[in-house]
Amino acid sequence: MFKTLLYDPIFHSLIFLYQYVTFQDLGIAIILLTFLVRLILFPLFYKSAKNQLILQKLQPEIQKIQHDHKDNKEKQAQAMMELYKKYKVNPFSSFLIILIQLPILIALYRVFLGDFSDINTLFLGLIDLKTRSIIIVGLAAVAQYYQGVLTLPKAEKGRELSAPEKIGRQMVYFGPLITILILTSLPSAVGLYWFATAVFSIVQQIYINKTVKINGGI
């Protein structure tokens, strides 16, 4: 079922783009397919990213509730639920959205690890996507770093960062390092997909950062 519903449609879409749209450049076909899939999934990604941004902006209020009701966990939980209800945010929705997206992302990943022996695998006539490329790995790491920076809330003077915020700031640096460790052992077709995904996410995050307001409600 996974192969029929996800892998085969994605693979055939890639081949169609390669043959009829990108003048038989597999790299451009991968980029276009990645953008098309992200556009289809945009409502889910948008909701997840918006949810995370709102939670970040609510950290001062969350910390105040935790301080005011530190001796009464029941009142603390009730106050938290009222805060989430007021701003129409679900702290657990991101996990559900990730679970929905995961099969599609796995299918994409497997497609880009596939056997492309019968087609031209040069990207822009320069990089063989069947082999490793330090250039693409570097671009993917830089794009992921910038994407991480965009997700960070502005530091407020006099306010101590919460544990999730501290972890988020650390992941801005750990994420690109993990990206480098993973992609250096994989064909550059996967790295190009990773890079294209990060670029799309950057554009999406810039849009969200400009449009999401929490003062006065959402």
185-194 pLDDT tens trace: 889 999 999 9
Whether residue 182 is predicted with pLDDT greater than 70 in this model: the reply is yes
The mean pLDDT of the chain is: 84
Whether residue 113 contacts residue 136, with contact meaning beta carbons closer than 8 Å, is answered with no
In order of 121, 123, 192, the CA distances from 22 in angstroms are: 12, 11, 15
Domain ranges of the chain: 2-211
Confidence of residue 158 (pLDDT cuts 50, 70, 90): low
122-143 pLDDT tens trace: 999 899 999 999 999 999 999 9
